[in-house]
Amino acid sequence: MEIHTKRLTLRPIRLGDEKEIHEYAGDKEITMMFWLPNDTFEETIDFVKKNAQEWESEDQTNFEFVIILDGKIIGGCDIDLGHSEDRTYATLGWIINKTYRNQGYASEAASAILDFAFENLRIDKIYAQCDIKNPASFGVMLKIGMTCINDKGTRTYPRTGITSGEYTCMITREEWVKKSQKIYLRKMTEEEFQSFKEYSISDYAEDLIRGEGISREQAYMDAEKEFLSMLPGGANTEGNYLMMIDDFVRKGKVGWIWYLFEENNINEKQVFIADFLIYECERGKGYATAALNELEAMAKAEGYSESVLYVWEHNIPAYSLYQKCGYTIAEQTESGTYMKKKL
């Protein structure tokens, strides 16, 4: 595999990389990295061998890449799960050959590895740390969207015993999705609408059964009747927007959202979310928050002042998500809650 950025190529470390890696890994001027500089070429050989073998492991915890510019290895970048027992977070690190520093290569590579990690690993957040006397690395962290969460840490270098201050920065999956503008909304095709219709009627009927205690037969009849009354023109019903949520990076569908623009009872312009789904296999990746952010930004730009939705009482995960995204209780019913958010 290879990752390509505007100027760089990143690929897994492999045997044969030792000489170019040792050019920077053996640099005696390195003073602010835990395990560098390497005293001998043999140490670099061992490092390459160990991390190349990681890529062949079924239980891989460290993903070590080399950074290549015009065919030459100019640095390394890694994402490491080894500090997380449940593998819900990773740590990010990088190094650039001093000849190639101060040209933006570190942030370009680190940003690409950030994307790799969130796209391929089921992690919630990524951390990075640096010495407080290393403004260049701290600047990289901020540039790729991280936030400093601790500026009063300390670190002790095992090779020298020297203790120094430490910055810790972090980015969550949701922050990354928002930063990368990873999703976009597009109109459903007729085929997608038919799948949506079938699922939506069935899902609403099940909500009616659980929320209102009616029979299954009656629930399905009521659900279909209400669906057809709301969307008499199908996907082209005037005033209704039936949109697929697509992952811009992976070029794949991750869910859908149905909304309409309207006025409330005091003539305020609002967007009402009638149905919203992220496919089960895509949940926990920040798509729901990103889709809501996208819709809310679009509605606000069009002059709408709030976003409104309804959540069933039994749908606790959805209720928690909306609360987390800034929605508050507007009105409670016997079977659920109307929630709203000022835009």
**322 token code pair:** 């909306």
Q: Is the pLDDT of residue 32 over 80?
A: no
Give every CB contact of residue 165 below 8 A, 6+ residues apart in sequence.
Answer: 131, 132, 133, 151, 152, 153, 154, 155
pLDDT digits (tens, 9 = 90+) for 174-194: 788 777 656 788 899 999 999
The pLDDT, as a whole number, for residue 27 is 83
| Average pLDDT of span 200-204 | 89
Rg (the chain; Cα; Å): 25
pLDDT tier, 251 (very low <50, low <70, confident <90, very high otherwise)? low
The pLDDT, as a whole number, for residue 118 is 85
**333 token code pair:** 């019913």
**43 token code pair:** 């140490």
| Average pLDDT of span 75-92 | 91
Q: Is the pLDDT of residue 210 over 90?
A: no
> Which has more confidence, 171 or 294?
171
The residue whose two tokens read 């043999």 is 42
Sketch out the chain's domains with CATH numbers: 3-179 (3.40.630.30), 183-342 (3.40.630.30)
| Average pLDDT of span 50-60 | 92
**Minimum mean pLDDT among 14-28, 38-52, 124-138, 246-260: which range?**
246-260
111: left (phi over 0), alpha (psi -120 to 50) or beta: alpha
Q: Is the pLDDT of residue 158 over 90?
A: no
Q: Is the pLDDT of residue 58 over 90?
A: no
| Average pLDDT of span 236-244 | 92
Q: Is the pLDDT of residue 341 over 90?
A: yes
pLDDT tier, 106 (very low <50, low <70, confident <90, very high otherwise)? very high
**Minimum mean pLDDT among 26-40, 267-281, 292-306: which range?**
26-40
Give every CB contact of residue 136 below 8 A, 6+ residues apart in sequence.
Answer: 101, 102, 106
144-162 as b/e: b if 16+ CB within 10 A: bbbeeeeeeeebebeeeee
**Minimum mean pLDDT among 14-28, 29-43, 86-100: which range?**
29-43
Helix (H, G, I), strand (E, B) or coil at 45: helix
Helix (H) or strand (E) holding 242: strand 240-247
- State if pTM tops 0.75: no
Q: Is the pLDDT of residue 123 over 80?
A: yes
The beta-strand segments (E) located in 106-225 are 125-131, 147-156, 163-172, 183-187
Q: Is the pLDDT of residue 248 over 70?
A: no
| Average pLDDT of span 305-323 | 90
pLDDT tier, 20 (very low <50, low <70, confident <90, very high otherwise)? very high
The pLDDT, as a whole number, for residue 38 is 78
| Average pLDDT of span 289-318 | 88
**14 token code pair:** 């492999």
Q: Is the pLDDT of residue 243 over 90?
A: yes
| Contact by Cβ (8 Å): 25, 47 | yes
pLDDT tier, 130 (very low <50, low <70, confident <90, very high otherwise)? very high
The pLDDT, as a whole number, for residue 265 is 73
**Mean pLDDT estimate for the chain:** 89
Q: Is the pLDDT of residue 304 over 70?
A: yes
The pLDDT, as a whole number, for residue 120 is 83
